Amino acid sequence: MIEELAISTKGKNAFIDVTSEVEKAVTGLRVKSGVCIIFVPHTTAALTINENADSSVRSDIINALKNVVPDSGGYLHAEGNSPAHVKASLFGNSLTIPVENGSLRLGTWQGIYLCEFDGPRTRKIIIKVLNG
Amino acid sequence: MIEELAISTKGKNAFIDVTSEVEKAVTGLRVKSGVCIIFVPHTTAALTINENADSSVRSDIINALKNVVPDSGGYLHAEGNSPAHVKASLFGNSLTIPVENGSLRLGTWQGIYLCEFDGPRTRKIIIKVLNG
Amino acid sequence: MIEELAISTKGKNAFIDVTSEVEKAVTGLRVKSGVCIIFVPHTTAALTINENADSSVRSDIINALKNVVPDSGGYLHAEGNSPAHVKASLFGNSLTIPVENGSLRLGTWQGIYLCEFDGPRTRKIIIKVLNG
């Protein structure tokens, strides 16, 4: 009861809607009631749930994060992607969502987003569903 | 093994202690050992675990968050609640807590808080307990 | 299927690599496939997953967090550790990691860190593995 997806990201910072991919995986795993866990095995990407209607919300979040963790700021790590590492830890690399009647129990305005902070790249998402 | 609660919030930003409500739900679901998942189906509210004794800690957290994500800052989203969306993603919309001997395995100083960032409103909390 | 560890931290702010301790606990709990939950029962410490190779990434994260939540800033809480409480909620006090073939399904560069924000202290980590 595990599924792995590959997602291509565009741009340095981007939020990619993966709601339908996760829904499809959950349906395929055929768990009627339980919990869905989504996990990214990366350290400069994250996962979040946020507004699925107006895309300007995602732009506002990306811009707000740039103010919280500036692109340049005397970082020690030589690869230059320290801000991406900080953002990844602030947002977190997993989500936990209840499953009811075989589908995700998301709110009306909730979408699931893969947060790319050091793209463009191909990222993995691991989806696991537990019965219960 | 799922329960849903409605919580009324007061003020624009507020932390509401829901520890006893969650404890009661866990007791009602009669799981001796496992994991409790708490989930808010909203995009301008969040959940966190923090100090349950001195309420000034919550005030300090709310104020610190206002410095991190200012109320006004050239946001694009027309509804004016972009800061609430950013805070929701920073804190996250779910919690996972071990269950032992039929109750939550919280630390002495830990309380569970619903974080309202765009209130006042009536919010939902979904509580799920997995055996294990 | 629960394990508890004690971890001694050094310094006020420190990230302690607990990956091998968690791996060992998961192996000991003998779950072939499922989900590992790690939980800290504290309110001024947190858990995160981030880069396990270059230790300067951890220094950059600690320093970036000090800019996000300054050490002094008119906090109300008399104990003086309000910044630690804010950081704990920003990072979160639990992690959820898939388990496959009896071990953690971490990415190549991922390590598990206990984040001390108000040390030095002895901290507890609770590790739980669910079958599934």
- What's the confidence (pLDDT) of residue B128? 97
Percentage of chain A exceeding pLDDT 90: 95
Nearest neighbour of C96 by CB, restricted to A83, A86, A96: A96
Percent of chain A at pLDDT exceeding 70: 100
How close does chain A come to C52, measured CA to CA in Å?
9
Helix (H) or strand (E) holding A98: strand A94-100
3-class SS at C36?
A: strand
Q: Looking at beta carbons, which residues of chain A come within 8 Å of B131?
A: 132
Whose tokens are 């946020």? That residue is A50
Sign of CA dihedral C21, C24, C30, C32: positive
Query: pLDDT (tens digit, 9 = 90+) per residue, C63-90?
Result: 999 999 999 988 999 899 999 999 999 9
Compute the distance between CA of residue B7 and CA of residue B4 in angstroms, rounded to an integer: 10
Mutate to test the interface with C, among B19, B39, B61 (most CBs of C within 10 A): B61
On whether any CB of chain C is under 8 Å from the CB of B94, the answer is no
pLDDT of residue B58 exceeding 90, the answer is yes
Mean pLDDT of B64-79: 94
Q: Which of residues 1-20 of C touch B (CB under 8 A)?
A: 1-2
Tell the burial category of C93 from Cβ atoms under 10 Å away from its Cβ (0-12, 13-18, 19+).
Answer: buried
Instruction: Please state the domain extents for chain C.
Output: 2-131
> Which pLDDT does position C73 carry in this prediction?
83
The whole-angstrom distance between residue A113's C-alpha and the CA centroid of its chain comes to 4
- State both tokens at C107: 């990415």
Residue B109: the pLDDT is 97
DSSP H helical segments within C40-116, as ranges?
56-68, 82-91
Residue A94 backbone dihedrals phi, psi, to 5 degrees: -145, 160
Phi, psi of B103 (to 5 degrees): -135, 165
- C110-116 β-sheet, strand order: C14-17, C110-116, C45-51
Separate counts of helices (H) and strands (E) for chain B: 3, 8
B74-109 burial, b if ≥16 CB within 10 A, otherwise e?
ebebeeebbbbbbbbbbbbbbbbbbbeeeebbbbeb
pLDDT, average across residues C56-60: 97
Would you state the pLDDT for residue B13? Answer: 98
pLDDT value, residue C1: 72
Q: What is the mean pLDDT of chain A?
A: 96
Contacts of C129 in chain B (CB under 8 A): 132
Q: Do C50 and A131 touch (CB under 8 A)?
A: no
ipTM surpassing 0.95: yes
Please give the model's pTM, rounded to 2 decimal places.
Answer: 0.98
Minimal-distance CA residue of chain B relative to A91:
B90
Residue C132: predicted pLDDT? 93
- Give the chain B residue nearest A59 (alpha carbons): B76
* DSSP assigned state of B12: S
E-state strands within C1-132: 2-8, 14-17, 34-39, 45-51, 94-100, 103-104, 110-116, 122-131
C90 touches A at CB < 8 Å: yes
Q: What band does A101 get if pLDDT is binned at 50, 70 and 90?
A: very high
Q: Where are the alpha helices (DSSP H) in chain A?
A: 19-29, 56-68, 82-91
Average pLDDT over residues A59-67: 97
* CB–CB contact B75 A60 (8 Å): yes
Residue B15 pLDDT greater than 80, yes or no: yes
User: Which residue in chain C has the smallest CA separation from B90?
Assistant: C90
Nearest CA in chain C to B53: C77
Shortest distance between the Cα of A75 and any Cα of chain C, in A, equals 6
At residue C16 the predicted structure's pLDDT band, cuts being 50, 70 and 90, is: very high
- Classified by CATH at the fold level, domain C2-131 comes out as Jelly Rolls (2.60.120)
DSSP H helices in chain B: 19-29, 56-68, 82-91
Chain B positions in Cβ-Cβ contact with residue C40 (cut-off 8 Å): 107
Q: Both tokens of residue C115? A: 């984040």
Partners of residue B36 on adjacent β-strands: B97, B129
Residues A36/A125, Cβ–Cβ less than 8 Å: no
B96 touches chain A (CB under 8 A): yes
Which chain A residue has its CA at the smallest distance from B43's CA? A50
pLDDT at A111: 98
Contacts of B86 in chain A (CB under 8 A): 60-61, 64-65
Q: Between chains, do B94 and A97 touch, taking CB under 8 Å as contact?
A: yes
Q: Could you tell me if A73 lies within 8 Å of chain B, comparing CB atoms? A: no
